[in-house]
Amino acid sequence: EKGLRVQDKGFLNTAVLRSKITYIDGDAGILRYRGYPIEQLALQSSHLETAYLLIYGSLPTSAQYKVFQGEVMHHSVVHADAEQFFRSFRYDAHPMAILTSALAYLGSYYSEANPSLQGQNLFTKGDAASLAIIDKQIFRLIGKATTLAAMAYRVRQGRDFVTPPTGLSYTGSFLYQMDHLGETDYKPNPVLEKALDVLFLIHADHELNASATTVLQTGSSLVDPYSAVAAGCASLYGPLHGGANEAVIRMLISIGRPGNVPAFIEAVKKREKVLSGFGHRVYKTSDPRSFIVRKMADEVFEVTGKDELLETAMALHEAAMKDEYFVKRKLAPNVDFWSGLIYRAMGFPLDFFPVLFAVPRVVGWLAHWRQMMLQDGGVKIWRPRQIYVGAPKRDYVTMEQRV
Ligand code: SDX
pLDDT by position in tens, the chain (length 403): 456 666 666 777 789 999 999 999 999 999 999 999 999 999 999 999 999 999 999 999 999 999 999 999 999 999 999 999 999 999 899 999 999 999 999 998 887 766 666 555 555 567 788 888 899 999 999 999 999 999 999 998 889 999 999 999 999 999 999 988 777 778 889 999 999 999 999 999 999 999 999 999 999 998 899 999 999 999 999 999 999 999 999 999 999 999 999 999 999 999 999 999 999 999 998 999 999 999 999 999 999 999 889 999 999 999 999 999 999 999 999 999 999 999 999 999 999 999 999 999 999 999 999 999 999 888 889 999 999 999 999 999 999 999 8
Between the CA of 194 and the centroid of ligand 1 the distance, in Å, is 29
ipTM of the complex: 0.95
Between the CA of 9 and the centroid of ligand 1 the distance, in Å, is 14
Pocket lining: 279 vs ligand 1, CB cutoff 6 Å: yes
Pocket lining: 94 vs ligand 1, CB cutoff 6 Å: no
Backbone angles phi, psi at 94, to 5 degrees: -70, 130
Number of Cβ within 10 Å of residue 347's Cβ equals 11
From 4, 35, 381, 365, select the one nearest 206 (Cα to Cα). Answer: 365
- Residue 208 · residue 232 · CB < 8 Å: no
Atom of ligand 1 nearest to the CA of 241: 12
Half-sphere exposure of 73 (CA within 13 A, CB side): 19
Question: What single letter denotes the amino acid at residue 101?
Answer: S
Between the CA of 291 and the centroid of ligand 1 the distance, in Å, is 18
d(CA 152, CA 146): 10
Pocket lining: 277 vs ligand 1, CB cutoff 6 Å: yes
Residue 73 C-alpha from the chain's centroid? 20
> SS3 breakdown of the chain: % helix, strand, coil, rounded to 5?
60, 5, 40
Nearest CA to ligand 1 atom 59: 275
From 399, 103, 345, 73, select the one nearest 234 (Cα to Cα). Answer: 103
Pocket lining: 325 vs ligand 1, CB cutoff 6 Å: no
Between the CA of 174 and the centroid of ligand 1 the distance, in Å, is 31
Pocket lining: 330 vs ligand 1, CB cutoff 6 Å: no
- Which phi-psi region, left, alpha or beta, contains residue 146 (left: φ > 0; alpha: ψ -120 to 50)? alpha
What's the pLDDT score for residue 110? 81
What's the pLDDT score for residue 308? 87
Pocket lining: 278 vs ligand 1, CB cutoff 6 Å: yes
Between the CA of 124 and the centroid of ligand 1 the distance, in Å, is 41
Backbone angles phi, psi at 99, to 5 degrees: -65, -40
Pocket lining: 244 vs ligand 1, CB cutoff 6 Å: yes
Q: Bridge partners of 24?
A: 31
d(CA 373, CA 231): 17
**Strand arrangement, sheet containing 30-33:** 22-25, 30-33, 36-37
The residue whose CB lies within 8 Å of the most ligand 1 atoms, and thus the one to mutate among 281, 293, 339, is: 281
Nearest CA to ligand 1 atom 3: 209
Query: Within 108-189, where are the H helices?
Result: 115-122, 128-157, 170-179
